[in-house]
Chains A and B, each alone.
Chain A
Amino acid sequence: MQKSVLKTKEFFRAVSGRPLVRTLVIIAAVCAAAALIPNFLKFSNLMNVLRQASVIAIPAIGVTMAMITKGIDLSTSGVIVFAPMCVVVLYRGGVPFFLCALCGILIGILAGLLNGILIARVGVLPFIATYVSGTIMLGLTMVIGNGGSVTGFPKGFTQIGNGSVLGIPWSNLIMLVCVAAGALFLAKTKHGNRIYALGNNEAVIRMEGLSPEKLLIAIYGIGGFFSAIAGLLLSSQLSTVHPTQGNSYQLDCVAACILGGTSMLGGSGTVVNSALGAVGIAAMRNALNLLGLHPYVQNLVLGSLIIFIVAVNVLLKRRERRQQESFHIRRAENG
């Protein structure tokens, strides 16, 4: 039983061959951008793209996990501003910075766990639970900062966002560590495998005697953790906290996952692909910026792209499922 499920999965993974298509799309986008814009391929600009990608890629790890379980995390933009706002307020209140940062990350985890509890225990739909909690956090950030920006991070902290070690920006190192940790967790540990199992067939988890609810809560908690780290990273890059600085990340993270081939229908997606997707999104924003297009035009392009890719993904997935069904029927007929 288990074996046959695995076999069909392998079969269709080989047939559809979508990971390749995904990577090609990203490469094509980058190439198109590079061909159009003279300054794009400069080393400093490419480093800039990677630096911008890091803030998208880190929360995208959590979003990927949520999407694998047929959920989604729209609270990223809320956590990305709320965590550093708490950090800077605590720091200005005289708390040592190390403790402040720890508090910020804890707040992210708590927010994520709260999302998870709402989704798994109470039964609120994932997108609405996370949308609402993100909006609440955004509102609280506005209240704390009185609608404006708050500055006053220590100098060492802003060095992290802008400095580099051995020529590699700290932001990228942090992104690499986070992505590697997330990818290893999802691909190599038994909990990671359970996340895929939960997305494909919740009954399997129950049969194993595990609680899908606890797993879901943990997944959203991890998402909150990564969003908080991304928020701190963004604040250290900008050396300020403004309530609107996280706005674009809500959609960018989802877009990165979708571009990386994570399905809206659950069950598939990897952290590395989402990180590649994040680089693709950042490259696209950067290219549009270099072209001198207004951020709103960027939104237009990004919005169309998301709808297009999801439509293609959903149609592909549906065809795959139909093939799978007919495959099973044929197997049953042939005995």
Chain B
Amino acid sequence: MSSSRNKNVVLSAVKQNAPIVYLIIFVAIGCLFVPNFGSKANFLNILRQAAAPAVSCIAMTFILITGNIDLSTGYIVSLVSISCGIMVKTLELPPYLVILLCLLIGCAAGAANGLFVTVCEIPSFIVTLGSGMILTGLAQLVSQNTSYHDLPDNFRAFAKAEIFSLPITVFYALLVALLAWIILHRAVFGRELRALGLNAQASRMAGIKEKKSVFITFVISGGLTAFCSILMTIRVNCAQPDLGGSNFSFEAITAAVIGGTSLLGGRVNIPCCVAGALIIKCIESWINILNLNYYLYQAILGIAILIALIADALKNRER
């Protein structure tokens, strides 16, 4: 009796955290069949590369949870990266002020998206498709087609340090994940957001302020995306107007969807999202190690998100 109950508990835990299981399977396959995949250096590399996508994927999750989407993520990254470069190199502002201003720029971009989605009630994908174009335009205008190499050391120190031989960006990502987990899984606000995603009408009747909540998620997401952009800019040591782009938005959505976030809203699991980001970086690492055509990455990501979408749709049909 108790053993079968235990089995059920384990089974449901596995079902709820399927992406983590997939991650373990991916890593195991990689260790068995891909040479050098299992080396410590490669794992460290994957962790380092996955830090920024994990943050952006959590940022995306905040928006996806209410059934909206942000296709402009990659372009927020571009705009923040180039403004960061200008503030550091040309204006020579102190690093912490730069970081603060960058986060504000991200929040402002998110707030603009959020305003159009909530006040004008335009579908979020069309708002962010349009605002994405505006943001790239702005990034190019501001940059005048230059990029800023060799950022000053005191700025790079923000994300350059290592703790226990792990890059500090990994800890930043973990911190963001922890905060997001608390907000989405343990706080009332998170429960309201999930309720909105599952059934907006019922939530409105229950007194949840839909517009305010959606607007706040867009602002939070913009800020997190800006943070992710700072991490990426420091990692490549170059502020450029085409750092993110549409491929980056696609990567963030893919990571979130593979991580079990439903595009119809309401279903979310932060640890699984992080696993999703790690899974796509594992795939990228395979492609790099096996020396395959790098352009396969996008196609494989597309097919992976397609499988995840179909699985999600079938799950929703049961619901």
A125 engages B137 (CB within 8 Å): no
CB-nearest residue of chain A to B300: A139
Chain A residue nearest to B296 (CB atoms) is A143
From B294, which residue of chain A is reached at the shortest CB distance?
Answer: A147
CB contacts under 8 Å to B, within A117-151, are 118, 122-125, 127-129, 131-133, 135-136, 138-140, 142-143, 146-147
**A52-93, CB < 8 A from B:** 72, 74
Q: How far is the CA of A314 from the CA of B131 in the complex (A)?
A: 17
State whether A139 and B298 are in contact (beta carbons under 8 Å apart), knowing that A303-B134, A314-B120 are contacts in the complex: yes
Query: How distant is the Cα of A311 from the Cα of B136 in the complex, in angstroms?
Result: 21
> B41 to chain A: which residues have CB within 8 Å?
none
B141 vs chain A, min Cβ distance (A): 7
Q: Which of B120, B122, B126, B138 has the most CB of A within 10 A?
A: B126
Contact of A142 among B140, B295, B314 (CB under 8 A): B295
Interface residues of B in 285-299 (CB under 8 A from A): 293-299
B6 within 8 A of A: no
Q: Is the CB of A139 within 8 A of B295?
A: yes
Which of B122, B138, B313 is the one whose CB lies under 8 Å from A307?
B122
B127 CB–A CB distance under 8 Å? yes
> 19 interchain pairs (CB within 8 A)?
A72-B125, A122-B314, A127-B123, A128-B309, A131-B125, A132-B305, A135-B301, A135-B302, A136-B298, A139-B300, A142-B295, A251-B130, A254-B129, A296-B140, A296-B141, A300-B141, A303-B129, A303-B137, A310-B127
**Chain B interface residue bracket vs A:** 35 or more
Q: Give chain B's interface residues, CB within 8 Å of chain A.
A: 69, 71, 116, 120-123, 125-127, 129-134, 136-141, 250, 253, 263-264, 293-303, 305-306, 309-310, 313-314, 316-317
The answer to the question of A189 belonging to the interface, with a C-beta cut-off of 8 Å to chain B, is no
Closest 5 CB pairs of A and B: A300-B137, A303-B133, A139-B299, A136-B302, A139-B298
- B residues near A124, Cβ cutoff 8 Å: 263, 309-310, 313
Q: Are B303 and A300 in contact (CB under 8 A)?
A: no
CB-defined contacts of B126 to chain A, threshold 8 Å: 72, 254, 264, 306-307, 310
Using Cβ atoms and an 8 Å threshold, which residues of chain B touch A251? 129-130, 133
Partner of B116, one of A122, A254, A294, A311: A311
Report how far A160 CA is from B173 CA in the complex, Å.
Answer: 54
- Chain A neighbourhood of B294, CB < 8 A: 147
Which residues of the other chain, B, contact A314 by a CB distance below 8 angstroms?
120-122
B132 surroundings in chain A (CB, below 8 A): 303
A125 to chain B, nearest CB (A): 6
Interface residues of A (CB under 8 A from B): 72, 74, 118, 122-125, 127-129, 131-133, 135-136, 138-140, 142-143, 146-147, 251, 254, 264, 294, 296-304, 306-307, 310-311, 314-315, 318
| B298:A318 contact, CB within 8 angstroms | no
| Chain A residue at smallest Cβ distance from B254 | A132
Q: In the complex the two chains form, what is the Cα distance from A136 to B307 in whole Å?
A: 12
Nearest residue (CB) in A for B292 is A143
B122→A310 contact, CB < 8 A: yes
Q: A264-B123, A303-B134, A314-B120 are in contact. Are A125 and B263 (CB under 8 A)?
A: yes
8 Å CB contact of A138 from B116, B137, B141, B298: B298
Checking B120, B133, B313 against A302 with a beta-carbon cut-off of 8 angstroms, the contacting residue is B133
Contact partners of B305 in chain A: CB under 8 A: 132
| Bound CA–CA A264/B125 (angstroms) | 11
Query: With the chains together, A296 CA to B296 CA distance in Å?
Result: 28
Q: Point out the residues of chain B lying under 8 angstroms from A127, CB to CB.
A: 69, 123, 125
